Structure 1
């Protein structure tokens, strides 16, 4: 896998001070995996699929799968819903594409909020309820970057998850879809088709495998793609972009680009989606002088 894409391992540390984190990773905008950041949380010992099932089993949860984005669904509209206890049973049965994405479970079950704390690591983390993410074996989150260009601490629990990251400087090689925050969804970043997507040969990214208790720091605007190697779940805490340039981009994404894209979907339907996917290839090849 790493022989096909130009991927280097994300550095890993056991612990680091606030000063080390800011100077070595936040200011230069470099990813890092912190292995022991959550070991003093109650969640480190308590959070398992069975515990979530016990605490939140009756809650109805939104589910997403790997079907391509289409005009049929609105932005972040779920493809299915079921009770959490049934979803966890589904995860345990075997591979499934169904994922929970950006879910406020801790708001639905306030008792879970007692199991973690906001780390004093130098980021001014938003104090609203964190988001949770669940996935079954082999389920994938498409390559994207976050609409608010936040600095993200991504805490993983249960099992293993493969994470591929690219810095914003590599966008020109990734077949970004216009008026969107994603790459072409038919790109398999674990086994890329270089005949169809030759610019990917030039992209330089990073990779890691997260296990229970690992924390991944993703700098603002970083592209990321996740593959659940086993059933598991994660939690994210966020901090605002540190500079005015990215803060301006975040405001544009939230209040201009997203609404424009939704309007065009409503007016042109699937033709708009198809046109954007075609332009992703045309624009990428033009930038890289690929005929």
Structure 2
């Protein structure tokens, strides 16, 4: 048995009007296959090119270890020169990923390789972020703290993406006061005996290749798995729905602060309690049904 996933719509290209009408307004994900072929990045961007232009930069690395109470918010697990990291990616599988790397700040020359596309949404130009990963590395299922509309541009290799909307929260073993699900769920090959509520979740699936763009609507959960070594860039537009905007403000200014305070006060007991609550609450809802 596998997750109940629908293939995400795919188009070669799309007009701003059709995107707004058919995908943004109904908040439906989309893969655009050939939208950025006029960007210099389409021909230039590869792991070798990143090694060439950013080889001396020290990059933050993350792996798939569970959250520890001593970890700060988005605190890296290791650091490495970009040249060494690319060598590692090309040499062997590795769990290390680059997560939320701001290219505007670190490698300004890369700004010349892309433009901000007009999807009919106002993109936040200070926040283009790069994400790198080795074969079989993955991100935990999570949604972004600001519940933004995300445009995810993939370069080199292949990447598997599983998405769920916020309506699926009750089936996903969501961690309270957090942006993640249980970290011991393997969304690539889920154990339904251990996680029975997942059988009721309805989501989306896509595989990205070089030059593809994935649109993820506001607050969508996403799990990303690198089938081969590669990297992606995300551009984002602020949440438009009032309930999502208010939730984003709550997450940034209240939830994150509360979580940090409780980690300091209760340590690992706080993390363990949250993990237990994810199972207790999900199973209670499952039993009612």
TM-score (norm 2): 0.98
Q: 1:160-182 CA deviation, whole Å, 9 max, x = no partner? A: 00000001111110000000000
Task: Pick the aligned partner of 1:99 from 93, 97, 106.
Answer: 97
C-alpha RMSD over aligned residues: 1.0
| Structure 2 counterpart SS, 1:85 | helix
| Structure 2 Cα separation of the partners of residues 194 and 34 of structure 1 | 32
Q: 1:122-176 CA deviation, whole Å, 9 max, x = no partner? A: 1110111401000000001000000000000000000000000001111110000
| Structure 1 Cα separation of the partners of residues 73 and 268 of structure 2 | 14
| Structure 1 Cα separation of the partners of residues 92 and 59 of structure 2 | 19
* Alpha-carbon contact 1:71-1:273 (below 8 Å) kept: yes
CA displacement at 1:191 relative to structure 2:
1.0
Q: Return 5+ residue gaps in structure 2 as ranges.
A: none
| Structure 2 Cα separation of the partners of residues 224 and 87 of structure 1 | 24
| Structure 2 counterpart SS, 1:23 | helix
Matched ranges for 1:115-264 at <5 A: 115-264=113-262
| Structure 1 counterpart SS, 2:175 | coil
* Alpha-carbon contact 1:107-1:129 (below 8 Å) kept: no
Q: 1:68-93 CA deviation, whole Å, 9 max, x = no partner? A: 01112111000000100000000001
* 1:58 matches 2:95: no
| Structure 1 Cα separation of the partners of residues 115 and 212 of structure 2 | 15
CA displacement at 1:94 relative to structure 2:
1.3
After the TM superposition, list the runs of 4 or more consecutive aligned residues in structure 1 that deviate by more than 2 angstroms: none
Q: 1:19-72 CA deviation, whole Å, 9 max, x = no partner? A: 000000000000000011111100000000010000000000000001001112
| Structure 2 counterpart SS, 1:113 | helix
> Quick one: structure 1 residues 41 and 112, their matched pair in 2 at CA, closer, same or farther if it must change by over 3 Å?
same
In the alignment, which residue of structure 1 is the partner of 2:29? 31
CA displacement at 1:105 relative to structure 2:
2.6
CA displacement at 1:18 relative to structure 2:
0.5
| Structure 2 Cα separation of the partners of residues 243 and 275 of structure 1 | 32
| Structure 2 Cα separation of the partners of residues 20 and 189 of structure 1 | 32
In the alignment, which residue of structure 2 is the partner of 1:16? 14
In the alignment, which residue of structure 2 is the partner of 1:77? 75
| Structure 1 Cα separation of the partners of residues 154 and 141 of structure 2 | 18
Q: 1:247-273 CA deviation, whole Å, 9 max, x = no partner? A: 100000000000100110111111100
* Alpha-carbon contact 1:155-1:236 (below 8 Å) kept: yes
| Structure 2 counterpart SS, 1:165 | strand
| Structure 1 Cα separation of the partners of residues 194 and 20 of structure 2 | 40
- Number of paired residues? 289
CA displacement at 1:208 relative to structure 2:
0.6
* Alpha-carbon contact 1:174-1:203 (below 8 Å) kept: yes
| Structure 2 Cα separation of the partners of residues 214 and 204 of structure 1 | 23
In the alignment, which residue of structure 2 is the partner of 1:88? 86
In the alignment, which residue of structure 2 is the partner of 1:281? 279
CA displacement at 1:290 relative to structure 2:
6.4
* Alpha-carbon contact 2:192-2:199 (below 8 Å) kept: yes
| Structure 2 Cα separation of the partners of residues 131 and 22 of structure 1 | 23
